[in-house]
Amino acid sequence: MKIEVKGINKSFGAKQALTDVNLILNPGVIFGFVGANGAGKTTLMRIIMGVLLSDSGEVLIDGHPATASDRRKIGYMPSERGLYAKMKVLEQLIFFAEIRGLDKTAARKQAIDWMERLNITEYANKNLETLSTGNQQRVQLAVALIAKPKALILDEPFSGLDPIAVKTMSDVIREQAGKGLPILFSSHQLELIDQVSTEVAIISYGKIIVTGTPKDLRKQAKAPETIKIPTPLASIFGELIAKDEAAHDQAQHVAVKQGAKHA
């Protein structure tokens, strides 16, 4: 599956959340999406999934406008977990698998397989609310993967995970990309963006300000001795975002001065 985002714009009242956003998710690519809180990452993911409608622009899947049927083939892990707190883990996985079209037997097999793969088998008969945040994350990932999706959209999949769970999550993401799935994931953890991604996009104030491979972005960074953060990409991320924010703040200042002048 190939997913294209073309000229997406979205506003909420007076706030412009996304401005002319373009992205291409090719098969087998792990696309790391980084930006500050409120930069537009979650909004774009929701538009790709059809949870939100854009004001303009389009989402294409394999060259045609995305349909509900296309989107059902995408495994989605939202930032706000959409699971049932008082439902047992195994029952929950079977339930979501059946919603995605698997019969009872196939749903149960997939549920058991993913619980084993994600090391949550011991929680099969426990209510979700009794699990730690990290284990709830694993259940949410299992839900995204249970119906053998053709692509993955993962919003902050590493949030709340311990180092062992981070490794498990990273391995699963790489494994799925190796099967040809395009994967878009967001994270505030720059070292994970650097380590896991094959391509990166930085978003600031709703605009994509740079895309490229981690190697390409490292070439744009300053000399190693000037980097104060122990992450190669952190320098270029911080520099580009700060530059864009400074320009944004300057534009706002000019607009305020002009408004006062004409008042």
CATH of the domain at 99: 1.10.40
Residue 245: per-residue pLDDT: 55
Q: Which two tokens stand for residue 111?
A: 């549920």
- Residue 58 in any domain: the answer is no
Q: Which residues of the chain have pLDDT under 70?
A: 81, 221-263
Distance CA 182, CA 1 (A): 7
Number of other residues whose CB lies within 10 A of the CB of residue 153:
27
Residue 100's domain comprises: 83-147
- Residue 32 in any domain: the answer is no
- Residue 96 in any domain: the answer is yes
- Residue 207 in any domain: the answer is no
Cβ contact 213:199 at 8 Å: yes
Cβ contact 142:111 at 8 Å: yes
The contacts of residue 257 (CB under 8 Å, 6+ apart) are none
Number of domains observed in the structure of the chain: 1
pTM metric for this prediction: 0.79
